[in-house]
Amino acid sequence: MLAEYTPASFDPLSTVQIATTICETFERQPLVSMTYEIPRFEGSGLYALYYRGVSVDLYLPLASLQVPVYAGQARSNSATGERVRERYPLHGRLKHHRLSIMEGGLPIAEFRFRALLLPDVHADLGENALCVGYTPIWNSKLRGFGSKEQGATTRQSKKSKWDTVHGGRRRTHGGVVHDVEKLVAEAKAHIARQVSDYDELPWPHPASDTYLDLEDS
């Protein structure tokens, strides 16, 4: 008697397959130094920030892995539906994040970014896949890194978890509401899980570790 058999199923245009293709392409992009000002370029897309240093104990376990500390996307069109099209959204986000890292007291020379120009809809899909696949520490346990201070309501909001651990950004807030030691302990436990689950990620590894220093380019 023949064993049961069912052919494999493959939909190249499924959401999962498109997201996987985006992430595989994204991770073939070079890691770029954030030490110097990032030259301006046009376009929207997907990006992630990585720790590649030796001096910040909290993030040291991630220094040799393709696990971002933060993943995001930048739109060319306004998220509010207004007919406003930005020319440099991805560059603008990276420039903003570079300043936040420095103001937060972290060594900017120990951080890298990876970026890929994409249409808005595909950048959204890639961001979701990176966040689900990696659960980056600044997207999850230490939220607030990517926020912008806008208006009186935002200024009166509670201090973010990221700003509680990495204080120094020039912004006002409603006061400290988080326990720093508890946040750091939770972050360390989360990073330990990321390291232990590294081999179970949904796309092939290792990704590109090509390093680009913008001062020499």
58 falls within a domain: yes
- Of residues 60 and 80, more confidently modeled: 60
Say how far apart CA 136 and CA 46 lie, in whole Å: 14
In a 10 Å sphere around its CB, with 0-12 CB exposed, 13-18 middle and 19+ buried, how is residue 211 labelled?
exposed
Residue type, 77: N
CB 15 within 8 A of CB 128: no
Query: What would the pLDDT profile of 128-177 be if each residue is shown by its tens digit?
Result: 999 999 999 999 999 999 877 554 455 556 789 999 999 888 776 667 78
Residue type, 27: E
215 falls within a domain: no
Treating both helix axes as pointing N-terminal to C-terminal, what angle do 120-134 and 15-26 enclose, rounded to 10 degrees? 80
- Of residues 125 and 85, more confidently modeled: 125
Say how far apart CA 116 and CA 27 lie, in whole Å: 9
CB 46 within 8 A of CB 39: no
Say how far apart CA 150 and CA 154 lie, in whole Å: 6
Residue among 119, 59, 122 nearest 89 (CA):
119
> Where does the pLDDT of residue 76 fall: very low under 50, low under 70, confident under 90, or very high at 90 and above?
confident
Residue among 2, 148, 4 nearest 72 (CA):
148
CB-hemisphere CA count at 13 Å for 31? 20
Using DSSP, state whether 203 is helix, strand or coil: coil
Q: Is the pLDDT of residue 33 over 70?
A: yes
Domain limits for position 151: 27-201
Task: List, in sequence order, every beta strand (DSSP E) within the chain.
Answer: 31-33, 45-51, 70-74, 111-117, 211-212
Average pLDDT (19-34) is: 93
1 falls within a domain: no
DSSP state of 97: H
Task: Indicate the average pLDDT of the chain.
Answer: 87
32 falls within a domain: yes
Q: What is the pLDDT of residue 154?
A: 52
167 falls within a domain: yes
111 falls within a domain: yes
35 falls within a domain: yes
217 falls within a domain: no
Task: Please tell me the total count of domains within the chain.
Answer: 1
Q: Is the pLDDT of residue 81 over 60?
A: no
Tokens coding 142? 């230490």
Average pLDDT (73-102) is: 83
Q: What is the pLDDT of residue 168?
A: 82
Neighbours of 30 (CB within 10 A): 14
Average pLDDT (101-130) is: 96
